[in-house]
Structure formats: C-alpha cells, structure tokens
Amino acid sequence: MVSGIVGWGVYLPFWRLERASIGAAFGTARGRGSRSVASFDEDTTTLGVEAGRRCLELAGTVRPSEIVFATPDPAYLDKTNATTVHAALGLDPEASAYDACGSVRSAWGALRSAARTGVDQPALAVLSDLRTGLAGGSEESQGGDGACAFLFAPDGGAAELLGRGSATDEVTERWRVPGEIASRQWEDRFGEVSLVPLAKAAFERALADCGLSVDEVDHLVVAGLHTRAVGSVRASLGVDGGRLAPDHSQSIGNLGAAQAGVALADVLERAEPAQIIAVLVVGDGADCVIMRTTENLVGIRQRQHRSGLATVAEQVESGQAGLPYAVFLSWRGLLRREPPRRPDPERPDAPAVRRNELWKFGFSASRCRRCAFVHLPPTRVCLSCRAVDQMEPLRLSGVYGTVATFTVDHLAFSPSPPLIGAVVDFDGGGRYRGEMTDVDPDQLAIGTRVEMTFRRFYTAQGVHNYFWKARPVSKGRRGAGPGEGARSADTSGISGTGTVAVSANVDGADGELAAPGSLRGKEMD
C-alpha cells in the first residue's frame, strides 16, 4: 500500500523586489527579473500557515492526523513552530505537530516523513523559507520567499509514490552558524564537482527502485540552492527540455526549502493522469522521488478551480512589483527605520493567549444560537437578545468580506507605517475592525473585497504576536465577489444573522471588548 498526494497548496508573498533596484543602490550591474519578498509582518510560520490553508481547502474533508513543519529559518528555537501552524489551521487536538529545521534537505525529509505516515493516516508537510543574504550579494538578489504544503493520505491521491533514491556525503559547500542572517558558500566549482555525482546516483537509484527508465519520465523537477550544480544536473540526466519543469526563479527567486515543493505543485497543475514525475533535490547530498499521477488528478484540479484557488503560475504573475530596496532592507532588519514616537508594544501574555486560542489563532467568532447574532471577538452574552452562554463558535478566517470604511494612520505604531485600519463586513454576517496589509492606500476604497491572512503583528521581548489581518482578495482568486461563489460562513437552518463591530486586543488579553462606546450593531437581511 502507498500514500498519495490528496491536496497541495502554494503561497507566494504579495511583494516583488526588482533586482535592478539592488544594482542601482550600489552602482553595480543591474540584474534582470525579480524576487518574491515576505512583508514586514510575515515570517516562515505565517507563510506556512497560508500554504497549509490552501492545501486543506483543496483537500476538502480530509484532515491530517500529523503535521511536520520544515524551515531553515524558524521563528522560534526551543519552541515548536508547528504548533502555531496547527492552531491557525484549526487542526484537531489529537493531531501531532513537529518541526524539522536546519537546512533545505531537512525540508525534503519532512515531506518524505509525511508520505510514509500517509500510508496509514493523513499527514501534512509544510515547507517554508525566507531567504536573506548580505546587502548587494547574490544570495539576496537570487533568493526568494515562499511556502508550500502537501497532504498525503492512503486513498484518493492525485499522485502516488513509486520509488525513491538517496545519496549522502559530508560536503561543507554551504553553511550558516546560529545568529547569522546569510549563508556562506565555498567556491562554485567545488560544490558542482561534489554534488553532481551524488544527484546522478540518487536519480538512478530512484528509477531502479520502481523499475523505470529515464525515457519514461514525463516531468522532471531539479531543485537546490547551488545554481551551478542544479544546471549541470538538469543538462546531464538525459531528459530533454520539453520534460523539464518550468523554472520561475527569474520572477520569484530561489525559494530554498520550498523550491522543490512549489515546482512539484506547478507540475501537478499541468500534468495529465498516468504520467511519471521525478523530483530531485540537490543539497548536502541528493534525494529523488518518483511518482505517477492518477485519475483523481482531474477531480482535484476541478475542485481547485471551483474554490477559486490560484495556481502557481497565476501567483507568479500576480505579485506586486516596485518595492523600494530601502524598504526591503528595513523589513529584513538590515536598515533601522525610525518608528513613530509612540510607546513600544508590550509582550503578549501567554496565559491570556491560551484562554483565547480559538479567537487569536483561529479567528473564531461566536454566534448566538437563539438569534444568530455574530460577535467578533467572541463573547458570552449576546448583544442582540441578551442570551447568556448560548453561543457556538464560527470560524471566519476563510470567509470573504467587504470594506465598510477605513483610515490611514501615520501616527500609530507600525514596523512599516502607515497603519491602515478598516471595518470589514463578512459575508453571511459579522463585522470586524482591524488592520489591513498588502495594500496600497491609494488603491483602497469602500467596497473593496478582502480576505483574512495570518500575520505577525510585532515581536516584543522575544515573543511573536500572531493574529489575523485583512487584505484585498488576491489577484489570482476567482469568484471572490458577492454572489459569485465567494466563501461564507455556514448559516444553514438559521433564520437571520447579525453583526457587531468592536475593537479587539490582538495580544489575546482578557476583556477584548474595548471601549463600550465603540460597540455598534447592525441587523442583516
């Protein structure tokens, strides 16, 4: 019995940094193309949450019993980052969560671990990376940020694993010690001479493991951070250019730990049933897996289209160019920007966060069972009918909304001012006042359609304050308008809905219903 991929998800950040802007800043040759850039309020955990949300939406009713989160750039050490992803995805408490951190190869090991678990029960692998190099260097310009997720299960897979092969050797070709922001590399020729034979050996072993020849491979993915070695491997395996997976690095850069997974997802969105896919990852050795697509691929792709989920190709094309290089440096912490003259934020209170976990990580409102009034944040007493303890949780993180009004605040604290606040009316009921992100203030308007996204508001005393923000619906999203198949909360069997707008304390502290004068109710038809 083998496991199969029943869902996949890719998340590429909104922003793009033109390589020419780096050259212009240093007076050097201006590179071509761009790289994807995580915003100031994103890290590898939030990137992974967004990829996981897309994966689970595509997978439908299949829920993972285990999640493995892998990244070379974890937000926390001595704390499991996967538990944050677990909470934000709303997974069952009995589902286990583990980290696999350290290198690109560790990420591929996490994928293989999920595939092995998927033989018996569904398992989710989330691979995320945020590549940062020294200012003006090739790591900075050629890297990229992004994440991918794959859900494996015993039945219903779009692609089933056929064979695998590995080759390992101790090669100090790339390294980074704790506390450094950029990797170091040995001379390019050394890496090429060391890694290419290992990659060829892993590829040959994988083919032999499933009794296939190189001529039977329909799609080949070769990924790794050593560009020269990857290029040599692609040219030497006997696979013609028409069968090589598209290379998007010119537009989004090399995504490191997520590079191979994003390329695999792209292939799954292009392949036909009964085709052979080979994925070869080069780094600290090499790993190769061979898989065959199934008839289920057609149905899963149709579900992807109906859900309005953007493909990899659509996300590559939909990024926002024009990010100033100085802003990028400030987001990375390489250029210190003067903040607004306001008190620094306080560290989130761990006991309060735990008490309000469903709200803080799941963005779960409460809906009155008697009158269907929706409260954000959740509350025990209904503001409409005054019923006490008659609430049911209502998760709104996956529901579209509409901007009712907004403000651009240049004085409020923000790592990247100005701060944009908006009042959002959710489809099916619910009103919330909070922050927006990934938005141009000049393009924002009343009536703008928005979706929720998981972000890091700030970090205080080493504690990251995660919560949800609204952003304009992604360009690649389809059917996001009212009455066009947009996602909404389940209100079946309920005669009416209601909304309430409040100001919420995002650190999870008790008493989120701030300032009684800010409460405002509105009945919905």
pLDDT for res 516:
28
Question: What does pLDDT average to over the chain?
Answer: 89
Distance of alpha carbon 512 from alpha carbon 525, whole angstroms: 27
**What's phi and psi for 395, nearest 5 deg?**
-80, 120
Contact predicate 66/126, CB 8 Å = no
pLDDT for res 477:
57
Residue 335 burial (CB count, 10 A): 13
pLDDT for res 60:
87
Distance of CA 228 to the CA centre of its chain: 28
Contact predicate 446/405, CB 8 Å = yes
Q: Answer whether residue 500 shows pLDDT above 60.
A: no
Q: What is the pLDDT of residues 364-395, one digit of tens each?
A: 999 999 999 999 999 999 999 999 999 999 99
Distance of alpha carbon 225 from alpha carbon 283, whole angstroms: 7
Average pLDDT estimate for 333-345: 82
Q: How far from 87 is each of 71, 104, 149, 213, 356, CA to CA, in Å?
A: 18, 25, 16, 44, 12
- What's the burial of 351, exposed, middle or buried (CB within 10 Å: 0-12/13-18/19+)? exposed
Q: Kind and range of the H or E element at 101?
A: strand 96-101
Q: pLDDT grade, residue 512 (50/70/90)?
A: very low
Determine how β-strand 96-101 pairs with β-strand 497-501.
unpaired
pLDDT for res 417:
86
Q: For the chain, first and last CA: distance in Å? A: 52
Q: pLDDT grade, residue 409 (50/70/90)?
A: very high
Distance of alpha carbon 130 from alpha carbon 254, whole angstroms: 10
Q: Kind and range of the H or E element at 50?
A: helix 44-59
Average pLDDT estimate for 69-83: 96
Task: Please tell me which residue, 181 or 517, carries the higher pLDDT value.
Answer: 181
**For 338-349, what is the HEC assignment?**
CCCCCCCCCCCC
Give the helix, strand, coil percentages of the chain, each rounded to 5. Answer: 30, 30, 45
Distance of alpha carbon 144 from alpha carbon 149, whole angstroms: 17
pLDDT for res 507:
53
Distance of alpha carbon 133 from alpha carbon 195, whole angstroms: 22
**What's phi and psi for 140, nearest 5 deg?**
-70, -45
Q: What is the pLDDT of residues 438-476, one digit of tens each?
A: 999 999 999 999 999 999 999 999 999 999 999 999 765
pLDDT for res 489:
52
Q: What is the pLDDT of residues 433-447, one digit of tens each?
A: 999 999 999 999 999
Structure-token pair, residue 146: 């992004």
Average pLDDT estimate for 504-511: 46
Q: What is the pLDDT of residues 95-132, one digit of tens each?
A: 999 999 989 999 999 999 999 999 999 999 999 999 99
Residue 93 burial (CB count, 10 A): 6
Structure-token pair, residue 206: 């994988």
pLDDT for res 524:
29
Q: What is the pLDDT of residues 11-70, one digit of tens each?
A: 999 999 999 999 999 988 888 999 999 999 999 999 999 999 999 999 888 999 999 999
